[in-house]
Chain A
Amino acid sequence: MTVLGIRKATSGQNGVGAFILQCKRLDFHYCDWAGSSKGMNAFLRSSLAKFAAANPQVEMTVSPRPKKHPVIIGHYINGREKAICVRGLEPGQILKKAELLRDANGEKLKKVTKPVKSLNESVRGIWSPFHGGGIKV
């Protein structure tokens, strides 16, 4: 037995094989009294049922938050959450915000500069000064 096996764990690549939507819960908070919740209340009455039926993989909860602005909070699989205040927005705009939260992956926003991110080693290898004829000075 000259070779030993090292125990490791595989790493997931969401979307390779199976895709898991990263948003697991959306909380809709509204106020019955305040005017900033007018659009939210209309959204909850008219479009939420349709939105929820179209996205069965997301758990949706609706709860009042009296005397506060309406807010949508998304909870993500990585443990983070994102909240968007939707005060004074129209139902259509609120739907856009809900879709934005649904499609987010929960990570902090960061600038993507490289076009490709890979777990594999580079096929070409690391440049070596000892190969390829050398450089004439």
Chain B
Amino acid sequence: MKRIQLERWSGQLLSPRTRLCCLRQWNQSTPHIGSRRLQSGIGAEVSEVLEEEESIRPIRAGEFASPPPEAAARSAKLAALHARLALPKKLPLQTMARALVDLSADPDPQFNNTALSQVGGSLISAYVSEWLLCHYPRLPMTVLFAANYAYQGPSTLTKIGKEWGVETAAYPGSEVDPGLLQFNKLTPGSKVPSLGVSTRPDYAGFYRRGISSRVVYDDEFGDQIKFPEKDTVTEPVKQPTDMAYSNFVKAVVGSIYIHAGRSAARSFVHAHILSRHLAIGSLFQFKTPVRELARLCEREEFEFPVARILSETGRHSRSPVFVVGIFSGEDKLAEGAGPNLSEARVRAAVSALKAWYLYSPGSNTRVPSEMEEMGAKPWTPVHIDMGEIIH
């Protein structure tokens, strides 16, 4: 298998250390350790630009929107965060500092975390999706979207970022400690800015947005992907806190990938995102479970499901309880208890359907990305399910 050239990737994503005014500063303070480390990857390129731009721009202290890269080496908060997450030593503090600068703090794409979070978000999405598909092959698409949201949605990534002990800076600026998350905070009570227009080709309102089209056109949560309109940028962008935190967490994954490689990023995602607790059974909301169970039995050529009362108490009392079992022939599929017979039957049907949908081949199931490791065993196909019962 052909390996991706990490150096080339990192060149594309990180070379943007060419903010010209900054370069001049670096040039003047050559013996500085932080700046020397930064220049090491792109030395030739940088020196050329330096010579060209030497006399063009004046330097003014504090004119940058985000802290200068050399501040990263002096920040105790940043070093502590790096150590707390047990990040690989290959990941420099300067990249870590860049991961903490949001688009709304520094609109310059060469100094904010947009590129890193794009890479990291794609990686998280890929690893979480493959894990869910291999471990719960029968999940309906809507529940799969919800499970994806639960593992890698903005609210979860915000929780993760806060659990890492990352605090936000009151206002972004070059004097801020690089260990703080910097973004332009959305004022409470103000309207969340629109992300733009949908990228769907059938954006016109009269098309039905069904589940199958969401698989093709929409993102991993089944939401529409928005693209900013061309002629909008007038005011500085303000960012809700959850978006800033989730971009940061994604950017950390992206920077691990770029500096330490794919397997480090993968194990980081497994350790911090996939190890979290989620009761997937609690994500289901059924509309017509009895009918759906009947269709399932028909499709799988089981006998038609019949609900039978198993036991009851206090039929004429204020709080009766009925226990109803659903049987397909001689086999009991599930049972449920409720205060009336129909409620008990519905609960039994829901229980039977969840038992079907939540089938898992086991926690040791392999996922496709394990094949990327050196010396991986030959791939054995995973369970692929027929799909949902009623669309």
Contact = CB atoms under 8 A, between A and B. Distances in A.
Interface of A: 1-14, 16-18, 20-21, 24-25, 56-61, 77, 119-121, 128-130
Interface in B250-295: 270-279, 282-289, 291-292
B284 A130 contact: no
Interface string B62-104: 0000000000000011011001111000000000000000000
Contacts of A61: 76
A10 B269 CA distance: 14
Given A59-B76, A129-B313, A8 B83 contact: no
B153 interface: yes
A2 B140 CA distance: 10
Interface in B169-223: 179, 210-211
Contact of B77 (A6, A8, A59): A59
B159 A12 contact: yes
A10 B283 CA distance: 11
Contact of A3 (B85, B285, B311, B313): B285
Contacts of A4: 142, 284-287
Contacts of A18: 85-86, 271-272, 275
Contacts of A128: 323, 337
B188 to A, nearest CB: 19
A17 to B, nearest CB: 3
Contacts, number: 135
B50 interface: no
Given A10-B150, A12-B159, A61-B76, A2 B287 contact: yes
Contact of A57 (B84, B288, B389): B84
Interface secondary structure of A, over-half rule: loop
Given A2-B287, A4-B287, A77-B165, A17 B270 contact: yes
A6 B284 contact: yes
B291 A2 contact: yes
Interface string B116-152: 0000000000000000000000001011111101110
A5 B139 CA distance: 10
B388 interface: yes
B277 A119 contact: yes
B142 A3 contact: yes
A21 B86 CA distance: 10
Nearest to A15: B275
16 contacts: A1-B142, A3-B142, A3-B143, A3-B286, A4-B284, A4-B285, A11-B277, A11-B278, A13-B276, A16-B277, A17-B270, A20-B165, A25-B80, A56-B83, A57-B84, A120-B277
Interface size classification for chain B: 35 or more
Interface in B9-30: none
B145 A5 contact: yes
Contact of A6 (B211, B273, B282, B323): B282
Contacts of B337: 128, 130
Contacts of B278: 8, 10-11
A78 B8 CA distance: 40
Contacts of A11: 159, 276-278
A21 B163 CA distance: 10
B390 interface: yes
B3 interface: no
Given A2-B292, A20-B163, A57-B80, A10 B144 contact: no
Contacts of A59: 76-77, 79-80, 179
B142 A5 contact: yes
A14 B77 CA distance: 21
Contacts of A129: 313
A61 to B, nearest CB: 7
A5 B285 contact: yes
Nearest to B284: A3
Nearest to B151: A10
Given A2-B390, A9-B155, A24-B84, 19 more contacts: A2-B292, A4-B142, A4-B284, A5-B145, A5-B146, A5-B285, A6-B282, A8-B150, A8-B282, A10-B159, A11-B277, A12-B276, A13-B275, A16-B277, A20-B163, A24-B80, A56-B80, A61-B76, A77-B165
